[in-house]
Amino acid sequence: MATQDKNRATAAAILPLVGGAANVSSIAHCMTRLRLGLHDRSLVDDEALKAVPAVMGVVEDDTYQIVLGPGAVARVTPEFERLVAEAGASGPAAPSPAGSPSPDSPAASAKELADRGAAMKAARKAKNATPFKLFLRRIANIFVPLIPALIGCGIIAGLNGLLVNLGWLTSVTPALAAMAAGFMALIAVFVGFNTAKEFGGTPILGGAVAAIIVFPGVANIDAFGQKLSPGQGGVLGALGAAVLAVYVEKWCRRWVPEALDVLVTPTLTVLISGLVTIFGLMYVAGEISTAIGTFADWLLSHGGAGAGFVLGGLFLPLVMLGLHQALIPIHTTLIEQQGYTVLLPILAMAGAGQVGAAVAVYFRLPRNESIRRTIKSALPAGLLGVGEPLIYGVSLPLGRPFVTACVGGAFGGGFIGLFNQLGDKVGSTAIGPSGWALFPLLDGNRGLGTTIAIYAGGLLVGYLTGFLATYFFGFGKDLLAEFDVSREPAASPATATGAPEKEPAGV
């Protein structure tokens, strides 16, 4: 009960700071963030939100995103939804006055960094509002709701593999195998459902068309001179089939008389989309899926350290540009094909570089207590793979430390890539978690102990390289002079005796 009260208190603290219930147009959440659609962005008090103890940071994109961390966000969101529903017909709450801490307050320097980060996010949001990037966000909206099931089933699969290898609980392992594999066997149906929902169609029709892909009876059908296989085309085929179903359905809604709509529209939607899926999309998507798996294996077996270096180093810039969302269906395809994605552990090294860089900033700015407090509060989340507070609150606004963090990610990725080239694959059975939170989801081809050791080694390399690169190359003289100053308020003796107070170093 105490936990529920805590979650409701967090939701209650957030609601007035985003302009009240009347200002909220939509509510959703992903692995770490509460995502809100807002009518009027100007009613949000960013600084007061960041001061809420449970809030790790805020990110402004197509929605207003409040970083609460894994686990917490899934508990706070329902409470937030209840509060908005209870507010119902009430008028918009009076917006909280925008907080503007005194330049002499302990948070002044951290606030300056936050303001820079907010400006960068606003500029990035404007640049990211291109048709291609908006399309990628829609793709992400299809797959993100599936992540909790991928994680749960992935952990069960890892536990089952461990029990099988040890020869323990032999009567239970078949049941665990069914639990782990059941969702993946039907993931195409869920992708079809979410796709139709995202693109404005009837979700169940999208799921119905996508279900054709995993139906065992397709093994009796010839297409392009060969028998189809259940699951051929996977999530990419389901995505294409559901999008097609949406367009067929919308066409039917325009032309079919209302009296016949309830009978004709669903029938034609499933019939036309189903035939195209069976005699076209399954084969084409199957070839694309196979090519993705083959290319990923080839890239890491031949490119090795170089490929890992590039992937680990460029992942944070991809996130800044909004292009990382294109990787979600690729990860899912690899998990569906091989049981794990070899790309995610490499990309997770970007977070390791970020942690190392943040620690270096902590030591390079010994006089700036406000930034050091920000780092101390955000570091545990960073170790668990929640990097937004460190990115937007520390490294990105400072500039050069963001680049050196990418260097740390590059070396960590190169380390794991090297072992992939040597034949030791390191993969993740699910997407979403990163950092230390990825350990329970690790899988590979050389045994769990070896896989964990390689991933841990990559994290250490990322931490160490990010720290060293930032400590020695992340600060110029101007940046140090600007930020390595004390912002702590003090009632100095000079002030007490009436002597003029020394002006603090400004930013």
Q: DSSP 3-state assignment of 333?
A: helix
First to last CA, the chain: 46
> What whole-number distance in Å separates Cα of residue 338 and Cα of residue 288?
15
HSE-up (13 A, CA, CB side) for residue 405: 30
Find the helix or strand (DSSP H, E) in which 344 lies.
helix 343-347
Neighbours of 355 (CB within 10 A): 26
> What whole-number distance in Å separates Cα of residue 319 and Cα of residue 85?
33
Phi then psi dihedrals of residue 58, to 5 deg: -130, 150
Taking CA atoms, 308 is separated from 304, 305, 407, in Å, by 6, 5, 12
User: What letters, b where the CB count within 10 A reaches 16 and e where it falls short, cover 243-282?
Assistant: bbbbebbeebeeeeeeeeeeeebbebbbebbbebbbebbb
> What whole-number distance in Å separates Cα of residue 228 and Cα of residue 283?
8
Q: Could you tell me which of 435, 409, 430 has the C-alpha nearest to residue 320?
A: 409
Which residue of the set 30, 153, 252, 406 is catalytic?
Answer: 30
> What whole-number distance in Å separates Cα of residue 97 and Cα of residue 1?
33
DSSP class of residue 123 equals H
E-strand stretches of 274-343:
none
* Residue 252 known to be catalytic: no
> What whole-number distance in Å separates Cα of residue 504 and Cα of residue 483?
12
Structure tokens belonging to residue 219 = 């093994």
CA 109 to chain centre: 28
Task: Write the burial class of residue 110 (CB in 10 Å: 0-12 exposed, 13-18 middle, 19+ buried).
Answer: buried
Active-site positions read 30
